[in-house]
Amino acid sequence: MIEITLLVTALLFGGMVLYSFGFAAFVFNALPPETAGPLIRRAFPHFYLFVLASSAVAAAIAFAFDPVSSAILIAITVTTILARQVLMPAINTATDAGSKTRFNVLHSLSVVITLAHIGAAAIVLIRLAGS
């Protein structure tokens, strides 16, 4: 079971890194802002569902042999729900209203949360690899 948890957590970590530093950066560099913004806006709900599902599955499996890793993964799951259901709509509302200051604050918060998720997944990977 540890191997499955390790693979699912690696998928979570890699997916978050690829989306955050690969896909999003590529879209904003390759497309004009009026196209890139709506594309990213449509992609984010799917990104959050990916993070939610993979962290929840890994947490459920890890619970049997590593409660600390499971708790870290549950924290990712719970904060992803909040980011998807509360923060993302608030960011979209700020964008639609043209409130650049509010957008910047909320977007910065979402970046910090995502970086924390990546760091937390890395901690779980290191824990699992050492088992």
- Model pLDDT for residues 2-52, shown as the tens digit of each residue: 999 999 999 999 999 999 999 999 999 999 999 999 999 999 999 999 999
Q: Give the domain ranges of the chain.
A: 2-129
- Model pLDDT for residues 97-120, shown as the tens digit of each residue: 999 999 999 999 999 999 999 999
Is the pLDDT assigned to residue 131 strictly greater than 90?
A: no
Contact present, 110 and 87 (Cβ < 8 Å): yes
- Model pLDDT for residues 53-84, shown as the tens digit of each residue: 999 999 999 999 999 999 999 999 999 999 99
Alpha-carbon distances, residue 7 vs 12, 24, 36, 128 (angstroms): 9, 24, 31, 10
Handedness of CA 77, 49, 131, 127 (dihedral sign): negative
pTM: 0.94
pLDDT for the residue numbered 85: 97
